Amino acid sequence: MMTCKYVMRHVVLLTLVVSLCSLGLWADSTSDPCNLTSASCTVTCTSSPCQVQITRNGNSLSLAYNGTDASVLCAGDNSTVNWAASTATPQLIGAFFNPNHYPGSTNVVVGSSATPASTTVAAANVSTACFVYQVTVCDSTGSCGVLDPKVVVTGIHVEGKKKKKKGY
């Protein structure tokens, strides 16, 4: 059963995550905030959804996809990326893109250790686009870890799992 204290703690943590990350957002006027020539993928997502595991060690974070470093993640156009905490300890997850440069429908993606932060990424009007974002993971004490990785959205369309239609 959720108590008022539990709900309030998570509201305060979410506010903290959003506040910290909005302070860290950069401003630029380029079409994409990262250099595609230097953004060689550390791993490529081959399915949708793409589950990125976040591991926190103190104030530092690391990202992995299928056990491989995902600090520069390549994902297919219109694929879904999930950021999930790799711990059972309650934590809040925020993925924050520059308000002028983001691959999804919103520049702020929030989740928790129970529900991954999730967005569908797309390379708008180009064959490949690169986006720098900030991932922040905070625990119930207000202690946070922060990382500034990249996601490269390729023009290659990745098919997700199809839902079967129910016949009536």
Residue 28 pLDDT grade (very low, low, confident, very high; cuts 50, 70, 90): very low
Residue 137: pLDDT over 70? yes
What's the start-to-end Cα distance of the chain, in Å?
Answer: 37
Q: What is the pLDDT of residues 49-68, one digit of tens each?
A: 999 999 988 888 999 999 99
pLDDT of 14 = 53
Average pLDDT over residues 130-140: 87
Q: Please, are residues 127 and 149 in contact by the beta-carbon 8 Å criterion?
A: no
Q: Which domains does the chain have, with CATH numbers?
A: 4-24+41-157 (2.60.40)
Higher pLDDT, 97 or 38: 97
pTM metric for this prediction? 0.74
pLDDT bin (cut points 50, 70, 90) of residue 128 is: confident
